[in-house]
Amino acid sequence: MRLFHLPSKLLGNKEKRALNKLQTYTKTKSFPSVLDCGWNYHIRSYIPGQMLYNPSDKISRDYFLQAKSILREMRKLGVVNNELAKEANWLVKSDGTPAIVDFQLAVSGNLLGRKFIRLLAREDLRHLLKHKMTYIGLTAAEYNVVSNKSNLSRLYHVSIKKIYLFVTRKLMGWK
């Protein structure tokens, strides 16, 4: 196994764990399902829709209310995405409802503790609200959440993010 395959395998396993945990969420088809997997691969289901930055119709307030509900349910299940700042990870399905894809940086489980999961979930919410601000605006309380980045987020941006970008962009050739 080449050295740069190891991060891919680790990220793939994180995604598999998170998606398997989210299988219990049956209200909507808001996440891909794991259809098949082996020791070095997994196949996800396809969710038809448009990326948030390229919707076919105007995005409604209901979209963001439903997205907030999805994040709340994810937190209850102990899963946070950690990559929701990317609009491409949010889909607008044909019925106007949200879906989330790309769980490679997801954290799932209670190994890190409920407080840590809650902190990361707040960052997922903060990123959703930043998107909401772009499309329809925020309430004063929501603006307060957006403008108060956690210390963990600040630490990530000055340390780990640089390593992540080096590994993914330089070593693995991701764009």
* Chain segment 86-138, per-residue pLDDT in tens: 999 999 999 999 999 999 889 987 666 788 888 899 999 999 999 999 999 99
Measured CA distances, 129 to 60, 72, 125, 161 (Å): 14, 13, 6, 21
What's the pLDDT score for residue 127? 96
pLDDT above 80: residue 29? yes
What's the pLDDT score for residue 173? 81
Give the 3-state secondary structure of residue 106: coil
What's the pLDDT score for residue 51? 94
pLDDT above 60: residue 149? yes
Torsion sign, CA atoms 137, 141, 143, 145: negative
- What is the value of pTM for the model shown? 0.84
pLDDT above 90: residue 155? no
pLDDT above 90: residue 168? no
Measured CA distances, 157 to 102, 145, 164 (Å): 20, 18, 10
What's the pLDDT score for residue 117? 86
Domains of the chain, earliest start first: 5-171 (1.10.510.10)
d(CA 16, CA 42): 7
pLDDT tens, residue by residue, 69-83: 999 999 988 899 999
Give the DSSP per-residue string, 34-102. Answer: EEEEETTEEEEPP---EETTS-SSPPPHHHHHHHHHHHHHHHHTTEE-S-TTSGGGEEE-TTS-EEE--
Count H helices, E strands: the chain?
Answer: 6, 7
The pLDDT mean for the chain works out to 87
pLDDT above 60: residue 4? no
d(CA 5, CA 111): 25
pLDDT tens, residue by residue, 116-125: 888 899 999 9
Report whether 14 contacts 106 (CB < 8 A).
Answer: yes
Pick the more confident residue, 30 or 57: 30
